[in-house]
Every structure is written in structure tokens, then in C-alpha cells.
Structure 1
Amino acid sequence: MQKNRQPFLDKIMNESDFDILVNQSQVDYSKLRNKTILVTGALGMLAANCIDLLLLLNKNRNYDIKIIALARSYNRLKDRFGEESLQLEYIVQDISDEITYNNNIDYIIHAAGNSSPYYIEKEPLNIIEANVIGSFNIVNLAKSNKNIENILFTSTREVYGKIEGVNSIKEDNIGIFDPLDKRSCYPESKRMSENIFKSASIQYGLKFNIARIAHSYGPGMSFNDGRVMADLLGDTINDRNIVLKSDGSALRSFCYVLDAVSAMFYILLNGKNEMAYNIANEDEDISIFELAQKIISLSNKNISVSRVTPDDNNLYCNYERVMLNTDKLRELGWKPHYNLNMGIKLTLSSRV
């Protein structure tokens, strides 16, 4: 293990994971050899796992990738990834502040932003600022760098809004929002951010792709941010009985973090320019109540699950569930490798 890497990295992504993500992949990761990649929101689950993969490409393939990790806390960056080195550099700032970086950048994975229902309720303007101003800051950084080969922006399935009359949502199926809904700060600002990158392509010739991600989870996620999988796992890990604030009948499907990371690199390196791609694992629908039972069973914890009537359910997207169509992504060669049982076990074990 390299001196500057922490044991946490090997706990999250082992050699078996690397084999699935790289050796069994149709992505030509050699395109990243000797390249510089900026990853924003570096301490978020998806971004951090992207960095883990890049670090392992350096370790296992000697790719000499220069990784620039942008986040707000130097100490947390150091704890998560280790000391800075020739292959790892930290930019410590808020994504809403102007980004100054004078050296070459080849790729950008822009994953900064907050999707926690708690902050959507308490700090909606901050949600908008991070998404919209943050995306402008990435554009302003990229337009002065003539070597940028591609920008990947992590968006959300929620940009589709309310859609009726379709069995599955394709990338060109766009629905409606109520701008006065209390949680619209998140999907509306993500939708605006997508348009910022499209406009930058028109005005400055920047290349970009959009990843619209649905219900990802796994090691590195926050267990107290108000999302259903996070709350259920957090209660289980902390030996708390699970209390659902609904009847638990709503159906969801969940995508393990390494499948989502794999999809992100498929899009970054194989995707058609200026295209959006859905990222989801729609192979296993499950109700929230059944999910809670499954997590408890797999954890072997002596806790229970119950259901109560919620006081206020406005912080959660309550549109009737329509599955995401991932045909475009699968045409690039991607497929999920981790089923729900595997993903839950790996997430739980990462906290042991």
C-alpha cells in the first residue's frame, strides 16, 4: 500500500472491486494515463469513490494520473485520501467560490452539491447556490483551459419532474415542476445547471456529459442526511429500531456506489458529447418496508421496524414511481454487477 493512502481506501474498494470496474469493463481507462482530473465535491460518496478508483489505477496500472480533489475541509481530505503528493493535490474551498487553478486540467468530474432532505428544508438557497454558481465556476475555470477533454456533471433523476403516461423515463422525457414546492430548490437548480453546461458548449465550445443518477448508496455515504437508504442503514448500524414515517409501500430501486462510479466513467470516456445518461439499477424493485426488513436481516441486529403516519412528508419526492430507462448507458457497454444483498452487506461491513 502506498504510504499516502489510508486503510479506509482498501476497506471500500478492494482488488475484487478493481477487477470488476476495470478488468471486466469496456472502458478504455488508458485514456486517463498521464492526465490531470479535477474532482469536485471530493468527500461526497460518488466523488470519493471515483478518486479511490483513480488512486488504484495509479497503484495497479502505473497510470500516473494527477488527481485534484476539491472540498471544503483539508483535514477531512487528508483523513480520507492521505497526504498530498505528486499525484494527489487538494483545493480547499466552497464550490460557490471562484476556482483558481493555473495548471493543466484534462477532465473534470463535477460532483459538488448537496441532496440531503435536511438541507433542502433548512438551507434551500444554499442548495441553489452550490448547484448554479458552482456550475458557473466550473465553466469559468474550463473555458480558459484549452486542454479540457470532457466535463461530467452529476445530476439527478429528479430533473424529470412529474411525468405521466410512460412506463420508463428516457433522457428526452422531461416533465413538470411546481416552482413553489418547498423541495424544488434541488431539482430546479440541477436542471438549470445542466443548461449552464449546454450553454457553455454553445458559447465556448466546452465538451460535457450529464449523469442523471437515481438512488445510489454504499460505503462513504452519510448515514444522517434524511434519504431513505441512509436513514435505514444509519438506524441499523446504530442499533436503533426503524420507524418509517409512511406505510412503507412505496417502491424504489437502488444502485450500489461502485456500479454508479463505473457508469460515470463509461459516460466520461465513452459517452457521446453533450448527451445525458440515466444511471440506475432497475433490476430489483423493493418496497421501503421490505428494504428495512432486508437490512435488519442482513445485519443480524436485534431491532425492529414499525410504521407511523408522518407529520410532514413534503421533503421527499412523492411523484408516482416510474423506472429510469438505462438503454443509452447499456449501449455504451455498462451493466450493474452488485445486487442489493451484496451492496447492503458491503455497506454494512464498511462500518464495522
Structure 2
Amino acid sequence: MKIYEHKLYQEDLEAVCDFDLQWEKFQNSSIMISGATGLIGSFLVDVMMQKNLANHLNCKVYALGRHERKARERFDHYYGLPQFRFVVCDVNEPLQIEDISGIDYVVHLASNTHPVAYATDPIGTITTNIFGLKNMLDFSVDHQVKRFAFASSCEIYGENRGDVEKFDESYCGYIDCNTMRAGYPEGKRCGEALCQAYIVQKDMDIVIPRFARSYGPTLLKSDTKAMTQFLQKAVNEEDIVLKSEGMQYYSYTYMADAVSGLLTVLLRGKCGEAYNIADEKSDIHLRDLAGIIAKSVHRKVIFELPDQIESAGYSKATKARLDSTKIETLGWKAQYDIHQGIRRTIEILGQCEK
């Protein structure tokens, strides 16, 4: 079974498509999505196409990615439809796309987003978040894009200095920039600053959704984040391996909530503003998270030391909870808590092609 054929996945799509948003803004328009085959990007493409076809939006969806074969496997049911086009490109190179006269919305999601990628490709981690973003911004200026969304991360907050319980959008914690691991959070910070520069100098309309640690059945097999490893172990009915004491206290977001939050920011956010996408019902210690996932498949949690590459890519933040007050003023509210999201992820992955 393909993931988009699963009943629960279809329910997730319908839940986001039924979200109270100004969907009419997409009528007779176009949207470009980089990182389209990733965890968030692939679900966003499915949401846009589902809403497109169900409500006759006549919205052209341009999905950007580096691998045509991977895209065909994931989006084969859209190929041939006039509303969909996959574009092979590397955002680290200037975008040269033929037969595009104008784009209304751009969502830039392309990025290295997991520990092994940070450790094995630290240069690519930084350049995608800076030069890749600049290339997308320059393309957007040339094509007079109405609004641009830059996907930022909870990691820009750095380490909690012990002065707050949750990070609001104005918080700046400590990041040791003289480490290899700093490439990701510092790249995202620089990316946000670059967005502000384009707003002032190029008169662009840009919003910045800041994602919590996201998960869901669209996770990539190559992803080495702790949550993803836990879920993959659960799907294979194996013991959950915890490579620390598990006292890290983080905010998590199920993929459907991440995308409804992204669309809320894209359609309702204020230019130049950043918005945390998180929900306190999904704040959890890592060891408790491992326990919930292990219990759901009747397995146990075992402790194991990480190897050198893994540990080099791990975040040093031990407490990173996000304050969602600001995005909630836009009318957004998460629909899935951590228990629901985990259950749905494991069930979908367990019954779909791996």
C-alpha cells in the first residue's frame, strides 16, 4: 500500500484541508515548494493537491527536489496532471527553470535536518541554509512572488539559559559557534537575518515559521534523529535504543500539525515575523518518548552509547520547549497530541511500503 492510500493518512489530509484558512488565496495561483520529498514537504504537496482537486482551485504546484526517481515513486499519482510539476534542481545552484512566468507563493523547506547529515556534510548544512535560501529569494524577486515562507527551526534558540520555561519568538539562547554542530542552528539564524535583508532591500513579503521537532509517517529512512530512529525500531517491532540518559525536554509536532501551522503562517502571518509551531501537549522528555513508543509495540527501552559520528551531530540543548501563543493568535491549534501522533505514525508505516 502506498502511504497516500492509507485511511489514516487520508484522514490527516482531510483534517488539514478542512482547517479554517483563507484557501481562496490559492485560487488561480501557483506555489513552489523546495524540499518537496522531505517529511514536511511531501505532506504539504499532498495537502495542496488534495485541496486543489477537491475544490477546483486551479493552483499550480511546483515541487522542487534533486531526484526525479524519488519524486516519481512518491508523487506518481500526480504526474500528468496539469496542476502538478516536479522540477529537478539543487537549490545550492542558481535556479534556472524554464516555462515559468510567475509564482505566487514560495515555501523553502530544503535543508539538512538530522544529526548524521550535520556531521558528515557540515558545509552542505550551512550552504543550503544560506546560499540555497539566497538562490530561492533571488528567484522569487525575479518572478515577483507575492509571499515567501522560510522554514526555520527550534534550534535557532540555542541552549536554554535557565531563565525561561519556554522559548518565545524573541528568545536568544547560547550557541557555541566554534563547533561543527553549530552549522545548522547558525545557518538558520543567518537565514532569518537574510530574509530581513530582502524584506528591506528588495521589498519582499516574507514570513518565518519555526518548526518544533517534527515527525510522522512521511519520515525519511535516511533520517537519524532520535524520534525517527525510535519510530523505525517500533515499526520493525524491535527494542527502542536510547543513546543518552534521555533527560532532554523538547517540543514535538506531528506532520499534519506542522503543515497546518505552516499554511497558517503563510496565509495569515505578518511580514517579517517568526512564529513557533508547537503545542504543549506534545512536550515530552526523551526517555518518556522512548517509553511510549516501546510500550505501543510491546517492546522495551535499552541504553546504548552513540558512535563518534552520531554524537558529533547531536544537539547539546537539554531543554527546548516552544511557546505557541503567537501562532495561536492567528487561529491555529494543534489537532494531535504526542500519543495520537505516535500511534498514527506507527500504524501507517507498519502497513505501507517501506
What band does the TM-score fall into relative to the shorter chain? over 0.9
The equivalent of 1:181 in structure 2 is: 179
The equivalent of 1:252 in structure 2 is: 250
Q: What per-residue deviation string (whole Å, max 9, x for no partner) do you get for residues 71-109 of structure 1?
A: 011111111112243111111021111112342100001
Residue 348 of structure 1 and its aligned partner are, at CA, apart by: 1.1
What does 1:211-226 align with in structure 2 at a 5 Å threshold?
211-226=209-224
Query: Helix, strand or coil for the counterpart of 1:67?
Result: strand
Contact 1:170/1:325 (<8 A) preserved: yes
What does 1:295-334 align with in structure 2 at a 5 Å threshold?
295-300=293-298, 303-310=299-306, 313-334=311-332
Contact 2:40/2:259 (<8 A) preserved: yes
Uncovered stretches (5+) of structure 1, i.e. residues with no partner: 1-5
Q: What per-residue deviation string (whole Å, max 9, x for no partner) do you get for residues 40-66 of structure 1?
A: 010001011111000111221111110
Partner Cα separation in structure 1 for residue 222 and residue 265 of structure 2: 30
The equivalent of 1:99 in structure 2 is: 95
Partner Cα separation in structure 2 for residue 106 and residue 296 of structure 1: 44
Residue 208 of structure 1 and its aligned partner are, at CA, apart by: 0.5
Residue 81 (structure 1) aligned to one of 67, 75, 88: 75
Partner Cα separation in structure 2 for residue 236 and residue 251 of structure 1: 21
Partner Cα separation in structure 1 for residue 128 and residue 139 of structure 2: 16
Q: What per-residue deviation string (whole Å, max 9, x for no partner) do you get for residues 232-263 of structure 1?
A: 01122223322211122322332100001000
Once the two structures are aligned, what percentage of the paired residues are identical?
A: 29
Contact 2:8/2:344 (<8 A) preserved: no
Partner Cα separation in structure 2 for residue 17 and residue 177 of structure 1: 36
In the alignment, does 2:66 pair up with 1:72?
A: yes
Higher alpha-carbon deviation: 274-283 or 307-316: 307-316
The equivalent of 2:20 in structure 1 is: 26
Partner Cα separation in structure 2 for residue 196 and residue 29 of structure 1: 28
Residue 341 of structure 1 and its aligned partner are, at CA, apart by: 1.8
What does 1:197-212 align with in structure 2 at a 5 Å threshold?
197-212=195-210
Query: Helix, strand or coil for the counterpart of 2:49?
Result: helix
Higher alpha-carbon deviation: 152-161 or 77-86: 77-86
Contact 2:159/2:316 (<8 A) preserved: no
Partner Cα separation in structure 2 for residue 203 and residue 126 of structure 1: 27
- The letter of the residue matching 1:11 is H
Residue 7 of structure 1 and its aligned partner are, at CA, apart by: 4.2
The equivalent of 1:240 in structure 2 is: 238
Partner Cα separation in structure 2 for residue 124 and residue 265 of structure 1: 30
What does 1:261-300 align with in structure 2 at a 5 Å threshold?
261-300=259-298
Partner Cα separation in structure 1 for residue 268 and residue 8 of structure 2: 23
Contact 2:31/2:105 (<8 A) preserved: yes
- The letter of the residue matching 1:299 is V
Query: Helix, strand or coil for the counterpart of 1:254?
Result: strand
What's the TM-score once normalised by structure 1's chain length?
0.92
Query: Helix, strand or coil for the counterpart of 1:243?
Result: strand
Partner Cα separation in structure 2 for residue 234 and residue 139 of structure 1: 35
The equivalent of 1:37 in structure 2 is: 31
Q: What per-residue deviation string (whole Å, max 9, x for no partner) do you get for residues 201-227 of structure 1?
A: 111101100111111100111244221
Contact 1:13/1:52 (<8 A) preserved: no
Figure out how many residues of one structure are paired with residues of the other and give that number: 343
- What RMSD in Å do the two structures reach over aligned CA positions? 1.8
